[in-house]
Structure 1
């Protein structure tokens, strides 16, 4: 029997926790619902994506998103944020300055990856920077549940944020990894990546979630700790690790 989440096109991961793999770039969007708040993790590549996500979540829960967590500053994860007006936005320390500085770069990257130029320009013009910056770890109170935001980077970018959702009723913890972990292909190592520091970021991610957690990649199927360790080993073999 399908749940309301599944009927609305989401994959249910646990009690009040779901995710959607978006069309086009296959980026994962997460949602965590508590009694007093609703967190969305990343917002899609365009304002239309953001608006569709907001409408879909409201349709399932009967209430609006109250918090946004941005896992890293790539167009397919942040360009829909302005669709969530009045919502508190969280990101890794330094993400605010980077998004203000790189609006045009994000627009060009989005267009280069196939986003309609008008839609890309519209989203970039009103790009939302985080209101709250996470330097180490920050606990977000959603009422009957608390979610941990952790600045575990740098790695995929200089501003990688993970989201830990504690398990309920014996269910495993869920870790939204952003693009620090990718299952549908090899990790994307772009010009803003810090590959020598990436293995250490995955060590921090594994310490955060533990051996029994479910790890939700930025792209691809949900994985386990062994997959994350294997990806860490592959990155270390390819790039080495930074001293210390």
Structure 2
């Protein structure tokens, strides 16, 4: 990491060279950042414009260049409402996520308020919400310069109908997989009204096929886990929802 990182250094966990993540307060949601020679990609943006501004500032402290790309793992308030804090970036999401966010702005705001976001804070973030510019229907590679290429993979449906995983392998480090809420460590995986339980185990099978046994898996909430944890969660979800 470059520059004087100050307090940001203590809040961000280093996963591999140029790859970090932070667990945000409140809902323990993960945000990540991946730096290459030509750009920085942020994974998810928090639950408010304030969180988005803080993420943007801290990532620039850690790496130097401004954020150039954002990948949204799924369209829930605690992962997308900070996106408007990043001016001029390229935003990626699973195919259909942009249409959902455009159509269901009121529900997004209500969901944020139900979970404790102040009404005025939620309203501002939803009003300024930036929708994904680039829909990912299969797999898409983002070149961040040097030897850093990030794979965006539409692994859903599962936790939602629009689940996107972010995979990166950098020289000198393990492959890192940002899972979104398809994987959760700090509690039982949450299956809300927009979940597709029958498809969730298959989404985890796809995730494991992409990352493999030696990858570091970063849940949407909670501590970093390994492939064996993901397999156990896959089997528990299959039993919970009565699918194979």
TM-score interval (norm. to shorter): over 0.9
Instruction: Point out the structure with the larger strand share.
Output: 2
2:73 aligned residue: 71
> For the residues of structure 2 that align with 1:226 and 1:215, how far apart are their CA atoms?
10
Q: How far off its partner does 1:166 sit?
A: 1.1
Q: How far off its partner does 1:241 sit?
A: 2.8
> For the residues of structure 2 that align with 1:227 and 1:203, how far apart are their CA atoms?
13
> For the residues of structure 2 that align with 1:201 and 1:240, how far apart are their CA atoms?
15
> For the residues of structure 2 that align with 1:12 and 1:172, how far apart are their CA atoms?
12
> For the residues of structure 2 that align with 1:65 and 1:79, how far apart are their CA atoms?
16
1:208 aligned residue: 210
5+ long unaligned stretches in structure 1: none
Q: How far off its partner does 1:63 sit?
A: 1.7
Q: Is the 8 A contact 2:5 2:61 kept in 1?
A: no
Q: How far off its partner does 1:100 sit?
A: 0.2
> For the residues of structure 1 that align with 2:97 and 2:110, how far apart are their CA atoms?
18
1:121 aligned residue: 123
Pick from 146, 149, 152 the counterpart of residue 146 of structure 1.
149
Q: How far off its partner does 1:240 sit?
A: 2.5
1:46 aligned residue: 48
Three-state SS of the structure 2 residue aligned to 1:181 is: strand
Three-state SS of the structure 1 residue aligned to 2:66 is: coil
Cα-to-partner distance string for 1:188-244 (whole Å, 9 max, x where unaligned): 0000000110000000000000000000000000000000000000000011238xx
2:98 aligned residue: 96
Which of 12-21 and 54-63 deviates more? 54-63
1:37 aligned residue: 39
Q: Is the 8 A contact 2:140 2:151 kept in 1?
A: yes
Pick from 216, 219, 222 the counterpart of residue 217 of structure 1.
219
Pick from 192, 195, 198 the counterpart of residue 197 of structure 2.
195
2:167 aligned residue: 164
5+ long unaligned stretches in structure 2: none
1:184 aligned residue: 186
1:175 aligned residue: 177
Q: How far off its partner does 1:4 sit?
A: 4.3
> For the residues of structure 1 that align with 2:52 and 2:129, how far apart are their CA atoms?
12
